């Protein structure tokens, strides 16, 4: 028997022993540091927790220059770290050629044959027991491999695209409709190419376009409660909304908050101050700035803005998945107001652990009520804090991921 089949047999036997340490090769579509985006945050904390039990090899693709500390930080949790840079000329070429295929544009954006060859070489060198791909954007790198593998859908992208079509300018709708159809087909295709599947929430799982979607394991996000914890400082703002402000659902939420909700609040409390804190604010978000609205851009420590505000408001109208920003705000004991869409994945108790706005009048009334009642602020914040501590922590959620990988 040749060496290759023997190794494959040994690897298979090794991978079937529950609880045994695995060598896991992780493929990411972004370098998970700094943590200004939801997929990077999920990847970072899952890597940190998986490293307690397993040997990790990290392969991360990036369309920007890596943060100078990224490699050193990730080296703390892994046995090897590899970054692969994609550049604008190659991105443009891949997107143009994708028009003549059925591949989603976001998959074409991140896939390169040159990177594929390098990853294949790394797999031959490291001989991992398991391949873990985060997001459908990386699935193409592992779909051909005869190794036990997991795809983490994280969110159901097709559902998010469908919502974006409805609110986008007419000239973008044909492109978004095309991407929606491509992603819908690809989400179903990927299901059959991977041995194990994970996703962030039950509502997202139920939207995956595959008849056996119930086989997908729900692995929620967590929150680092040692980092995000209650802090008493003077309040500079009444309302805070956070997130990557180039991300369309956050852009939409920021505009909805300032343009539609706040005029109703200001009509009764004209001095109410709002801060929108987050990296890469789009031009339309920057345009929201005024004497009563602060747009920060990138901040070194987002906790300063949570702690320095009275209420957290996340009026999410589009997007999918579990909102990390709500978990962080709750962990810092802020009273939170959000949408039915966001709470569908969170599953907090309405009126007790979170307040829900179904329209602009609801949001305005909740904000005015909390600003006028410090006791309600404290009670709602405390209940939300207890909810997050009990339900969402990275150690427990990643333990479920480890069980899935080693099953």
Query: What is the C-alpha separation between 97 and 178, in angstroms, rounded?
Result: 14
pLDDT of amino acid 85: 97
Handedness of CA 63, 69, 71, 74 (dihedral sign): negative
Please list, in sequence order, all residues whose beta carbon lies within 8 angstroms of the beta carbon of residue 169, skipping any fewer than 6 positions away.
Answer: none
String of DSSP letters for 61-79: EESSPPPTTHHHHHHTT-S
Strands 309-314 and 237-242: parallel
Q: Contact 153/191 with Cβ under 8 angstroms?
A: no
Structure tokens at 61: 């693709």
For 229, counting Cβ atoms within 10 Å of its Cβ (0-12 exposed, 13-18 middle, 19+ buried), the class is: middle
The alpha carbon torsion through 141, 143, 145, 149 (nearest 10 deg) reads: 100
pLDDT of residue 163: 87
CATH classification code of 237-391: 3.40.50.2000
Q: In whole angstroms, give the CA distance from residue 217 to residue 211.
A: 15
Fold match, 22-221+394-406 / 237-391:
yes
pLDDT score recorded for residue 200? 94
DSSP 331-343: HTT--EEE-HHHH
The full set of domain ranges for the chain reads 22-221+394-406, 237-391
pTM for this predicted structure: 0.82
Please give the chain's pLDDT, 407 residues, in tens.
333 343 444 444 444 455 578 999 999 999 999 998 889 999 999 999 999 999 999 999 999 999 999 999 999 999 999 999 999 999 999 999 999 999 999 999 999 999 999 999 999 999 999 999 999 999 999 999 999 999 999 999 999 899 889 888 999 999 999 999 999 999 999 999 999 999 999 999 999 999 999 999 999 999 999 999 999 999 999 999 999 999 999 999 999 999 999 999 999 999 999 999 999 999 999 999 999 999 999 999 999 999 999 999 999 988 766 788 999 999 999 999 999 989 988 999 999 999 999 999 999 999 999 999 999 999 999 999 999 999 998 999 999 999 999 98
Quote the DSSP letter at residue 257: I
**Closest by CA position to 95, among listed 113, 110, 108, 84:** 108
pLDDT value, residue 193: 97
CB 130 within 8 A of CB 150: yes
Q: How far apart are CA 302 and CA 165, in angstroms?
A: 31
Helix (H) / strand (E) element for 238: namely strand 237-242
The pLDDT of residue 18 is 52
| CA pair distance 343, 244, nearest whole angstrom | 19
Give the full edge-to-edge strand order of the sheet including 355-356.
293-295, 274-277, 237-242, 309-314, 336-338, 355-356
Nearest to residue 331, comparing CAs of 250, 221, 218? 221
Domain 22-221+394-406 in CATH: superfamily?
A: Glycogen Phosphorylase B; (3.40.50.2000)
Q: Cβ-count burial of 76 within 10 angstroms (0-12 exposed, 13-18 middle, 19+ buried)?
A: exposed
Total residue count of the chain as it appears in this document: 407
Measured in degrees and rounded to the nearest 5, phi and psi for residue 356 equal -115, 130
Sheet holding 130-134, edge to edge: 80-85, 55-62, 23-28, 130-134, 149-154, 196-199, 217-218
Cα separation of 397 and 140, whole Å? 26
Cβ(60)–Cβ(28) below 8 Å:
yes
Where are any strands of DSSP class E within 284-402? Answer: 293-295, 309-314, 336-338, 355-356
Q: Which two tokens stand for residue 34?
A: 């700094």
């Amino acid at each position: 028997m040749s060496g290759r089949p023997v190794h494959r047999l040994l690897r298979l036997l090794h991978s079937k022993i529950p609880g045994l340490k695995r060598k896991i090769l992780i493929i990411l579509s972004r370098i998970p540091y700094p943590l200004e985006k939801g997929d990077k945050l999920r990847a970072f904390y899952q890597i940190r927790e998986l490293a307690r039990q397993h040997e990790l090899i990290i392969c991360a693709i990036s369309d920007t220059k890596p943060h100078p500390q990224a490699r050193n930080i990730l080296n703390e949790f892994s046995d090897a770290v590899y970054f692969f840079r994609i550049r604008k000329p190659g991105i443009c070429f891949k997107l143009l050629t994708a028009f003549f295929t059925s591949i989603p544009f976001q998959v074409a954006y991140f896939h390169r044959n040159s990177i594929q060859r390098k990853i294949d070489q790394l797999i031959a060198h490291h001989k991992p027991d398991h391949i873990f791909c985060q997001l459908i954007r990386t699935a193409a790198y592992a779909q051909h491999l005869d190794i036990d593998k997991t795809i983490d859908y994280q969110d159901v992208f097709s559902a998010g695209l469908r919502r974006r079509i409805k609110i986008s300018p007419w000239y973008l709708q044909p492109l978004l409709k095309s991407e929606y159809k491509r992603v819908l087909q690809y989400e179903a295709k990927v299901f059959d190419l991977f041995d194990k599947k994970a996703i962030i929430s039950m509502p997202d799982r139920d939207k995956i376009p595959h008849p056996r979607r119930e086989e997908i394991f729900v692995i929620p996000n967590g929150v680092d409660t040692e980092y995000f914890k209650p802090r008493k400082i003077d309040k500079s703002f009444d309302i805070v909304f956070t997130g990557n402000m180039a991300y369309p659902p956050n852009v939409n939420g920021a505009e909805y908050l300032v343009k539609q909700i706040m005029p109703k609040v200001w009509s009764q409390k004209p001095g109410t101050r709002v801060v929108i804190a987050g990296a890469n604010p789009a031009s339309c978000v920057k345009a929201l700035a005024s004497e009563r609205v602060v747009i920060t851009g990138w901040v070194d420590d987002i906790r300063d803005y949570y702690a320095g505000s009275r209420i957290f408001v996340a009026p999410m109208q589009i997007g999918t998945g579990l909102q990390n920003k709500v978990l962080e705000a709750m962990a810092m004991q802020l009273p939170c107001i959000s949408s039915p869409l966001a709470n569908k994945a969170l599953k907090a108790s309405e009126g007790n652990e979170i307040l829900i706005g179904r329209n602009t009048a609801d949001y305005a009334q909740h904000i005015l009520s909390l600003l006028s009642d410090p006791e309600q602020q404290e009670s709602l914040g405390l209940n939300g804090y207890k909810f997050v501590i009990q339900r969402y922590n990275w150690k427990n959620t990643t333990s479920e991921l480890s069980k899935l990988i080693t099953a």
